Structure 1
Amino acid sequence: MPCEHLVRAWLARSLVSQSDSDDLIQEAYCRLSNVEAFEQIARPDAFFFQTVRNLLLNHIRRARLVRIETVAELDELGLADNAPSPERVTGARRDLERVRACIADLPERCRRVFELRRIEGLSQREIAERLGVNENVVEYEVARGLKLVVKALRARGGDMADFSRAGAVR
């Protein structure tokens, strides 16, 4: 990675030993090698840096003795945030693409109604007026679309528990 020297410099400023830095970077490379869809990562350098930071946090949590300077440096960087890990972000993007593909496979009217309701957030009345159909048709097509998307995700091996936790399926 072209940014490895920057990560090493940050680790040195955080008073992480050379051997621990080597271990953290090696572990980050191992994690990166398991990523299936690199094309979805907008900033590989930031992804790599965040992976090393997460590994360092895990290392510090497991350590019995931690230098106070290291903790202070981490506090300054705001690493104790609740942001999802890069791995979770990548997984969520992959799941989103699977859902989008399922929506794209819906019949035309069903897809259009489903997108207007679930993605754009229009009311049933607004959709009915826009498409010149009855509100009952809108309700039926949204329910039909949701059933077809869930069925397609299951057929493609999707774990619906993951999608429902993420709010993709309500």
Structure 2
Amino acid sequence: MHTALDDWFIREILVHEAALAGFLRRCWPHRDELHDLRQEVYVRVYESAGRALPQQPRAFLFATARHLMTDRLRRSRVVSIEAMGDLEPLHVLIDEVSPERWCGGREGLRKLAEAFDQLPTRCRQVVWMRRVEELAQKEVAMRLGISEKTVEKHLARAMRLLAEQCHGQVMDMAWGRRQARERRHGQQGD
């Protein structure tokens, strides 16, 4: 006996089976896992729809497939400690820090501090609250009077900009223009 959820699933999700199969074939390198992968996508979509029906079922289906593939790739890269075996033969001395390493660490920290100081004001506030004060995303959003999604965007942007600065890449032009404008006008927000 079909439930309303079953009918929705057949009508809104299973009609995209051929497109999903093609997408998985193009994106997933392990052909022997395609059937299981597709079934797991269906299970995730069905279970999620049981809690709340997605507004855009097709987009939700493909987003779920992308997330599942990402999860599987991430899990496949994890190396177990047992697989590493005994570390003693490697002669790894964790407590010993060479002068070169100590200076390199100090230099890296200096670069990070300079890059942090150059972040747009709002990005800097978000990074400080999330990473230094270790506040929850919801708490940061409340304190700054912005949405949680905006907190995520500021944090992602800040991390990208910090990485670019610390690794010697050229910062993006929009950020440079905004920094110059903030300096000229003394603006606070981003």
TM-score normalised by the chain length of structure 1: 0.41
